[in-house]
């Protein structure tokens, strides 16, 4: 299932890491009836993680 999720993200032009970080933080806020609207609603301004740092 994880591989399917990663490939689907790539086919949609979405960074899988960015998507997963955002979705896991929004899981209680985003309605389950609209799973395919992430890119239009949140793709331009995804939530980030404090763990991701660039060196």
Longest alpha-carbon distance in the chain: 39
Q: Which two tokens stand for residue 23?
A: 């979705």
- Residue (of 46, 37, 41, 40) closest to 16 by Cα position: 46
Q: What is the pTM of this model?
A: 0.61
pLDDT reading at 38 higher than 50 = yes
pLDDT band at 30 (very low <50, low <70, confident <90, very high): low
* Percent of the residues in the chain that have a pLDDT greater than 90, as a whole number: 11
Domain ranges (residues) in the chain? 1-28
What's the whole-number average pLDDT of the chain? Answer: 81
């Amino acid at each position: 299932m994880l591989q399917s999720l990663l490939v689907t993200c790539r086919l949609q032009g979405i960074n899988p890491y960015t998507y997963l970080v955002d979705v896991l933080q929004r899981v209680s806020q985003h309605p389950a009836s609209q799973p395919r609207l992430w890119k239009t609603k949140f793709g331009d301004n995804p939530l980030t993680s404090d763990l991701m740092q660039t060196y």
